[in-house]
Amino acid sequence: MAKKTEDEKPSYEAAREELIEVVRRLEAGGTTLEESLALWERGELLARICQDWLDGARERLDAAIDADPED
């Protein structure tokens, strides 16, 4: 799997799938403390990315509803 640079934001689906994998690895255990911390930090970033996508989608939906001339 190719690493993305910090400027490249993964799609919601890609971030969610990676987050699921991070959680699975953390729950399975067997990693060092350093690896666990790195996974946790990656999971936090991925969760933030997913939330940003969802917030953006909500804003777009709200804007579309507000722009609806039938209201």
Whether 43 maps to a domain, the answer reads yes
DSSP H helices in the chain: 12-28, 33-67
The whole domain housing 47 covers 15-26+33-67
pLDDT of residue 5: 54
Task: Report the domain count for the chain.
Answer: 1
| Number of residues assigned to the chain | 71
Angle between helices 33-67 and 12-28 (to 10 degrees): 150
Tell me how far apart the alpha carbons of residues 42 and 45 are, in angstroms, rounded to a whole number: 5
Domain-embedded: residue 5: no
Q: Which residue has the tokens 């190719």?
A: 2
Tell me the per-residue pLDDT of 2-52, one tens digit each, with 9 for 90 and over.
Answer: 555 556 899 999 999 999 999 999 999 999 999 999 999 999 999 999 999
38 domain-assigned = yes
